[in-house]
Amino acid sequence: MVDWTDDRIAALSDQDLKNLLVNAERKSVAEVVAQCKAEMEKRDALKPRKASKPRTELKEFEHEMAGQLAAVGREMAAKYDLSEETAKAKSAGVKGFRAHKLLDAKGYAKLGGMQRDGSVAIDRYISYRRGTDVVSLNVFLLKDQPIEAHEFHVIAPKALLDGARPVAEIRPTATEAQKQSADSGLAFKDLPSAAAAFDAALAKITA
């Protein structure tokens, strides 16, 4: 029987090392199995790790905005009852009603359909639904535009917004297939103003 020293095992190619491990396991030679596994771990440790790609400036901005929108959402949830249970109870009789989760599973703003299908650079949002009405707060950036061109949109039924404009004016690139959650909206360059409009709309929809 071959005397498998550590040096001898270390001299094997990766494939020969794997073959030796298989044979040692088949023959229940525990010592050689342990030596093979130790050598494999040593080789794995020496392999260069793939460095995770740093976020691009755009992705960094999107991540930051998704967090800021979520913070607004949590603030609103502390102010109003935005629970799914209440939304369902207050929407009894609305066929096919599905309550909206305010945030995504990780606690950030949700990914909007226009970003999901690749037609815009950023479309992240938080939303609340009651009955047939939906109120959403979004950060929006068209493709091939500088980050500074981003806008904050509050989209909701006209009755819930002061000075509302048709949503087609707010999002002129949206196609029929990219149906928006309501027919009206407001556009802002700063989040505090958009958050205030979102707050006012929530006050009406939850009244």
In this structure, the answer to whether residues 79 and 101 fall within a common structural domain is yes
- The three-class DSSP label of residue 106 is coil
In this structure, the answer to whether residues 97 and 39 fall within a common structural domain is no
Task: Give 134's pLDDT tier (boundaries 50, 70, 90).
Answer: very high
In this structure, the answer to whether residues 97 and 196 fall within a common structural domain is yes
In a domain, 52, yes or no: no
pLDDT tens-digit readout, 137-178: 999 999 999 999 999 999 999 999 999 999 999 999 998 888
In this structure, the answer to whether residues 73 and 150 fall within a common structural domain is yes
Whole-number Å distance between alpha carbons of 11 and 13: 7
In this structure, the answer to whether residues 28 and 121 fall within a common structural domain is no
Indicate if the pLDDT at residue 55 is higher than 80: no
In this structure, the answer to whether residues 40 and 89 fall within a common structural domain is no
Q: What is the DSSP letter of 14?
A: H
In a domain, 134, yes or no: yes
In this structure, the answer to whether residues 41 and 113 fall within a common structural domain is no
How many folded domains does the chain comprise?
Answer: 2
In this structure, the answer to whether residues 121 and 40 fall within a common structural domain is no
In this structure, the answer to whether residues 64 and 135 fall within a common structural domain is yes
pTM for the model stands at 0.72
In this structure, the answer to whether residues 110 and 29 fall within a common structural domain is no
Structural domain harbouring 32: 6-46
Question: Tell me, what amino acid is at 157?
Answer: P
β-strand partners of 126: 137
Whole-number Å distance between alpha carbons of 74 and 78: 6
Sheet of strand 120-130, all strands in order from the earlier edge strand to the far edge: 110-111, 120-130, 133-142, 151-156, 184-188, 165-166
The C-alpha angle with vertex 168 and arms to 183 and 202, in degrees rounded to 5, equals: 35
Q: What is the DSSP letter of 179?
A: -
In a domain, 1, yes or no: no
Task: Give 44's pLDDT tier (boundaries 50, 70, 90).
Answer: confident
Q: What is the pLDDT of residue 180?
A: 87
In this structure, the answer to whether residues 25 and 80 fall within a common structural domain is no
In this structure, the answer to whether residues 63 and 39 fall within a common structural domain is no
